Amino acid sequence: MPELPEVEVTRRSFADRIAGARVLALRLGKPLRWPLGCDPQTLVGREVRSVARRGKYLLLHLDDGLLLLHLGMSGSLQFAAHLPPAGVHDHFELVTSRGSLRLHDPRRFGAVVHARDLDDPVATKLLGGLGVEPLEAGFDPGRFHQALRQRRASIKQVLLAGDIVVGVGNIYASEALFRAGIRPTVRADRISRPRALRLHAAIVAVLQKALALGGSTLRDFSSAQGESGYFQLDAMVYGREGQPCRVCSTPVRSLRQGQRSTFFCPQCQKP
């Protein structure tokens, strides 16, 4: 699943190029996770003002209303002046005066939803429960620790929940916990303040590094310009089960948490 760095890399790859464009047409393929919520024809003539991000959602702000895009499990966006004919897995295309924005989503878990504004019940339902952005000033170390003290679930599951800090998905949670030296099975409320502060710093560092490397391309992720990410090549534990830890040479282990694979070093990450 594209995580926060991949979504932000995608946003940066087309936001400036589509800003100011006029919508000429909107084409829909097979149904996605949720319905668009409006007649596509009502968006023709609208101007794309800006592209923002909230968690893993991209927000296309129009001169009247906005579109919320989610890439789901396997979605990717492509933006270009000229695109080839739509394929069987291309389910949304916004044709504008500056190019076409197309969502390719083989599993159709992604979504494109229209809302009047950010106070629209549709938008608040999707965005209202999200935690703070980890790369913005609101991600405060002390408040992060206080929030962890209220949770009895494992720290990995708490990070994935997204209501304390948003966008730390499976790859980057495993990597951040490794940097902080914390076993992913540790209960969140048992993490001391010093360890929580290390985890806070690790989350920021891992996400910043992932952004610098263009995100992670594990299967078919690419930016809206068709560029792959390279963070996975530098991963310390994710996807490296049985391989030696890059720090201590102990074989990396994996386990299942909430139907997701977790990778950790039993030597470097303490219970």
The first and second tokens of residue 231, run together, are: 């963070």
Spatial contact of 246 and 269, defined as CB atoms under 8 Å apart: no
Model's pTM, two decimal places? 0.89
116 is catalytic: no
Mean pLDDT score, 29-40: 95
Q: What is the DSSP letter of 184?
A: T
Which of 57-66, 68-77, 202-211, 219-228 shows the lowest mean pLDDT across its residues?
Answer: 219-228
SS3 16: helix
- What burial class does residue 194 get, using C-beta atoms within 10 Å of its C-beta: 0-12 exposed, 13-18 middle, 19+ buried? exposed
SS3 5: helix
- Between CA 93 and CA 112 the distance in angstroms is 10
Rg of the chain over all Cα atoms, to the nearest angstrom? 20
Q: Is the pLDDT of residue 222 over 60?
A: no
- What are 151-204's pLDDT values in tens digits? 999 999 999 999 999 989 899 999 999 999 999 999 999 999 999 999 999 999
Q: Is the pLDDT of residue 232 over 70?
A: no
- What are 37-62's pLDDT values in tens digits? 999 999 999 999 999 999 999 999 99
Spatial contact of 48 and 23, defined as CB atoms under 8 Å apart: yes
Give the pLDDT score at 216.
Answer: 61
**Residue 231: φ, ψ to 5°:** -60, -35
Greater confidence (49 vs 216) lies with: 49
- Between CA 39 and CA 32 the distance in angstroms is 15
2 is catalytic: yes
**Distances from the Cα of 76 to the Cαs of 65, 70, 102, 155, 247, in angstroms?**
23, 9, 8, 29, 34
Give the pLDDT score at 217.
Answer: 46
5 is catalytic: no
- What are 92-101's pLDDT values in tens digits? 999 999 999 9
Q: Is the pLDDT of residue 219 over 50?
A: no
Catalytic: which of 47, 253, 260, 266? 260
Catalytic: which of 11, 46, 56, 183? 56
Give the pLDDT score at 231.
Answer: 61
Closest CA to 11 of 69, 53, 47, 49: 53
Mean pLDDT score, 72-92: 93
260 is catalytic: yes
Q: What value does the mean pLDDT of the chain take?
A: 92
- Between CA 221 and CA 2 the distance in angstroms is 7
Give the pLDDT score at 36.
Answer: 97
Ordered domains of the chain (ranges, CATH): 4-127 (3.20.190.10), 141-264 (1.10.8.50)
The kind and range of the H/E element at 200 are: helix 193-212
